[in-house]
Chains A and B, each alone.
Chain A
């Protein structure tokens, strides 16, 4: 297992060597480096996350796994400042996007959220907007003006990247709400991609979908791997194994806040986990 660091809860993890080799052409890896440093979170007086450290490098897909209520979704929402939408929510620590703290006072929350996109558990296209308006909704919301030609190009390109173009190219004007669940989810991915984010967070994007749609989304995720840093929360062990290159196992033991028990390369987490709790979880013995 050369080049693979097995890490403990309070340590940053490192890339498997094999993953670096793909970018040895001298070009910078697309996407951005996202680092969580000592992230803790509370809802009111209830502490839900304790000192989470995780490096999410560009060019690889990071999966967050763990049983329900272990804080992985909270952690994901902290990564693009959706956490603070809840009135009683608080946090400690830092989240660095390319080295800069996204919670720094001079950082605009709208800029951060544009740079770090999010796809939700339940597909949430704007139901009354057409498919193409859905795709470019982010531009309108950000106040970005584009010409007609650019707009069309962006719609086509975003839908292609999300693997939806062929299915909807003849009905771009129909309502986004009229698509199937899996198509809606890929429309949401296209919508996120259209604002050209550096990181894409996905919160159980397939849990409301059938197996075929799940396959399509997973393929889409793998295709996007080289374009944007991806962090995905999933309850599905097979999915984590199929799409991710690194994995972080979250656990909240009774009465304690959640945290990372073990993180590392996906093969290692699934093949030879260090912590017995990780082994139990990935082998389906609890959770």
Chain B
């Protein structure tokens, strides 16, 4: 048989019949089937659990709206035993604490991540990574206690300084007599500002870990390309590492935001409950959704309890939205990564 004439007649393609893709079916080994079914079961269970929590919390919203009306969302004060409770102050407070936490955590996380991946000598790097991971493992009640007892006296001084020099900005204004002989310390304690700093300590390691992972993956070829042009280390970081890590920076920050929105214990220990809707972050008193629930859960019954769970649903939706956006941003690759040779 000569080369090129190896097709048997019945194997030759039939021009008239349209070609169909073949279905490839193969039977799995029992071990593979067992493994696949068990992990699939666990995966579905986890998904169902999240959906069930959401549905359970969401169902509490119906009787709550029935009882309080739509004022539930627009009424600032939470008044146990009345029919006019609302969560607006708590929603505003939650967002304020989260924003302050991010404002503090973002620069800390970016610079720590850059130091670890770009500057630190290898041995210091190992220790720093361990240290940051340890920071993430510290229970939040420790941060709360630290914030309330260690941080507060210092943060109070900073808050006073801020209000003295930047008090013309509404957010830094404090209702205190600036000319008082002894400054009114109690006006500056237990504020959103101090709670935000404590929460930032919890957000930083989380955001830092995500950013570090992405920065470390910045391609060596592009790094060396920049350095070979005579770039300084900062020039290389700015032109290669940061553009490459943009997704990680945004995603890590959003994950941190999700964490900051839900933080309970630390906030509970630090802020004094106050249902005023205010933007004065340095002044005593505020409330967040989670600290609201923690404050009133013990003595709540009936409609009150449902309302607290409905507030939890609002928080759940906020956190879910933030985490979903973060997930999308982190997994979406950058525009140039498809051009790898």
Contact A141 B229 (CB under 8 A): yes
Binds A, one of B19-27, B102-110, B232-240, B284-292: B232-240
Chain B residues with CB under 8 Å of A188's CB are 225
Residues of chain B in range 43-101 having any CB-CB distance to chain A below 8 Å: none
Contact B229 A126 (CB under 8 A): no
Check: B221 CB closer than 8 A to any chain A CB.
yes
Contact A142 B339 (CB under 8 A): no
- Map CB proximity to A onto B211-247 as digits: 1 under 8 Å, 0 otherwise: 0000000010110111111111001100110010000
Contact B335 A87 (CB under 8 A): no
Check: A192 CB closer than 8 A to any chain B CB.
yes
Known: A87-B122, A128-B336, A177-B339. A118 touches B226 (CB 8 A): no
Q: How far is the CA of A114 from the CA of B232 in the complex (A)?
A: 11
Check: B8 CB closer than 8 A to any chain A CB.
no
Chain B residues with CB under 8 Å of A195's CB are 229-230
Residues of chain A in range 111-141 having any CB-CB distance to chain B below 8 Å: 111-115, 117-118, 120, 122-129, 137-138, 140-141
Determine which of B226, B230, B335 lies in contact with A111 in the assembled complex, contact meaning CB atoms within 8 Å.
B230
Check: B334 CB closer than 8 A to any chain A CB.
yes
Residues of chain A in range 135-191 having any CB-CB distance to chain B below 8 Å: 137-138, 140-143, 175, 177-178, 181, 184, 188, 191
Check: B16 CB closer than 8 A to any chain A CB.
no
Task: Please report the number of residue pairs spanning A and B whose Cβ atoms sit closer than 8 angstroms.
Answer: 94
Chain A residues with CB under 8 Å of B334's CB are 127-128
Check: B341 CB closer than 8 A to any chain A CB.
yes
Q: How far is the CB of A134 from chain B (nearest CB, A)?
A: 10
Contact A142 B341 (CB under 8 A): no
Which residue of A has the minimal Cβ distance to B236? Answer: A141
Check: A104 CB closer than 8 A to any chain B CB.
no
Check: A285 CB closer than 8 A to any chain B CB.
no
Determine which of B219, B335, B338 lies in contact with A124 in the assembled complex, contact meaning CB atoms within 8 Å.
B219
Contact A124 B221 (CB under 8 A): yes
Q: How far is the CB of B338 from chain A (nearest CB, A)?
A: 8
Check: B337 CB closer than 8 A to any chain A CB.
yes
Contact A113 B240 (CB under 8 A): no
Contact A85 B224 (CB under 8 A): yes
Interface size on A, residues (CB 8 A): 37
Q: How far is the CA of A274 from the CA of B306 in the complex (A)?
A: 94
Known: A110-B232, A111-B230. A137 touches B341 (CB 8 A): no
Q: How far is the CA of A173 from the CA of B230 in the complex (A)?
A: 24
Known: A87-B122, A123-B341, A127-B335. A137 touches B239 (CB 8 A): yes
Chain B residues with CB under 8 Å of A127's CB are 222, 334-337, 339
Q: How far is the CA of A208 from the CA of B340 in the complex (A)?
A: 12
- Map CB proximity to A onto B246-287 as digits: 1 under 8 Å, 0 otherwise: 000000000000000000000000000000000000000000
Contact B336 A177 (CB under 8 A): yes
- Map CB proximity to A onto B26-51 as digits: 1 under 8 Å, 0 otherwise: 00000000000000000000000000
Q: How far is the CB of A115 from chain B (nearest CB, A)?
A: 8
Which residue of B has the minimal Cβ distance to A142? Answer: B230
Q: How far is the CB of A185 from chain B (nearest CB, A)?
A: 10
Contact A120 B339 (CB under 8 A): no
Determine which of A123, A175, A192 lies in contact with B335 in the assembled complex, contact meaning CB atoms within 8 Å.
A175
Chain B residues with CB under 8 Å of A141's CB are 226, 229-232, 235-236, 239
Check: A92 CB closer than 8 A to any chain B CB.
no
Q: How far is the CB of A213 from chain B (nearest CB, A)?
A: 12
Q: How far is the CA of A110 from the CA of B226 in the complex (A)?
A: 11
Q: How far is the CB of B143 from chain A (nearest CB, A)?
A: 35
Contact B230 A138 (CB under 8 A): yes
Chain B residues with CB under 8 Å of A125's CB are 225
Contact B230 A113 (CB under 8 A): yes
Q: How far is the CB of B222 from chain A (nearest CB, A)?
A: 5
Q: How far is the CA of A22 from the CA of B251 in the complex (A)?
A: 59
Chain B residues with CB under 8 Å of A128's CB are 243, 334-336
Extra contacts besides A82-B227, A138-B231 (7): CB < 8 Å: A110-B231, A117-B229, A123-B341, A127-B337, A138-B229, A141-B236, A142-B230
- 8 CB contacts below 8 A, A to B, read A111-B230, A126-B336, A127-B222, A140-B235, A141-B236, A175-B339, A177-B338, A195-B230
